Amino acid sequence: MLETARKRAELRRQAGFWKGKFDWACACGDVRGCLLQEELKHDRFGIRLQEEEGRFKGVLDLGEQARRCSGFEIEAWVVVPWSQLRGDGEAAKWLEGVKLADRDITSRDPVQLYRPAPGVERYRCEKCGARILLVERKRPGVVKIAAGLLRSEDGARPEDWIAWELDADHEDADPGLVDELRNSLQSWNEAMKAAVQTQETK
């Protein structure tokens, strides 16, 4: 099954179905890779907020687990299909293991693992401590990558790839903060949508 998946991925790569890519890396650079954007407008996981624009869903998490694990009120993640996340070097090996859930993290891996709840895995760089991934096993087709890790080739953040929203789990968050974030995200998404449309007409 794994070999078949690899062959399909290679065929897709050779066929040129990728619209573009953004690199991602932690602060020290030990854990790095790239995120691929499909040329296709729809995917089978249904995770894009704006399918007609091909943007991924960015999630601001204000839940209790996010606060306790990060030490801050908000965590920012980008939800992507596993098929569009790549790792370089050692990161490629452990990403494959995490995706298939077929091995434990060892002392030779560049990351550390914490399980805050059953079926939830948080990975961070062993050296610099940067958050890398949030894996929820109840959603096997997708993974959350820390938004701050993404960088384009010219150093900009890939905001035109991401449509932001609040995570559903924010019941115990400050209501004023939730309202301000919701309004700001709506304005931000509209501005990004307009910017993308302007670029496409040039």
Task: Name the residue with higher pLDDT: 81 or 39.
Answer: 81
pLDDT recorded at residue 49: 39
| 196 falls within a domain | yes
- Is the alpha carbon torsion for 189, 190, 193, 194 positive or negative? negative
Q: Judging by beta carbons within 10 Å of its beta carbon (0-12, 13-18, 19+), is residue 141 exposed, middle or buried?
A: middle
The distance between the two most distant Cα atoms of the chain, rounded to a whole number of Å, is: 51
Per-residue DSSP letter, 154: T
Instruction: Determine the structural domain holding residue 50 and report its residue range.
Output: 20-201
- Summarised one tens digit per residue, pLDDT across range 113-161 is 999 999 999 999 999 999 999 999 998 889 999 998 988 665 555 666 7
Radius of gyration of the chain from its Cα atoms, rounded to whole angstroms: 17
CATH number, domain containing residue 153: 2.170.150.70
- Of 88-97, 128-137, 157-166, least confident by mean pLDDT is 157-166
- CA–CA gap between residue 198 and residue 50 (Å, rounded): 17
Q: Where are the alpha helices (DSSP H) in the chain?
A: 2-15, 64-70, 90-100, 175-201
Asked which of 5-19, 44-58, 123-137, 139-153 is least confident by mean pLDDT, the reply is: 5-19
The pLDDT > 90 percentage for the chain reads: 28
Let me know if residue 13 belongs to a domain.
no
pLDDT of residue 5: 53
Task: Classify residue 152: in a domain, yes or no.
Answer: yes
Provide the pLDDT for residue 48.
47
Distance CA 33, CA 24 (A): 5
In a domain, 11, yes or no: no
105 assigned to some structural domain: yes
Instruction: Determine the Cα–Cα distance for residues 49 and 80; give it in Å rounded to an integer.
Output: 12
Q: Is residue 7 part of a domain?
A: no
Q: Note whether residue 62 is domain-resident.
A: yes
- Whether residue 168 is contained in a domain is answered as yes
β-partners of residue 143 are 80
Q: How far apart are CA 33 and CA 10, in angstroms?
A: 17
Q: How many domains does the chain have?
A: 1
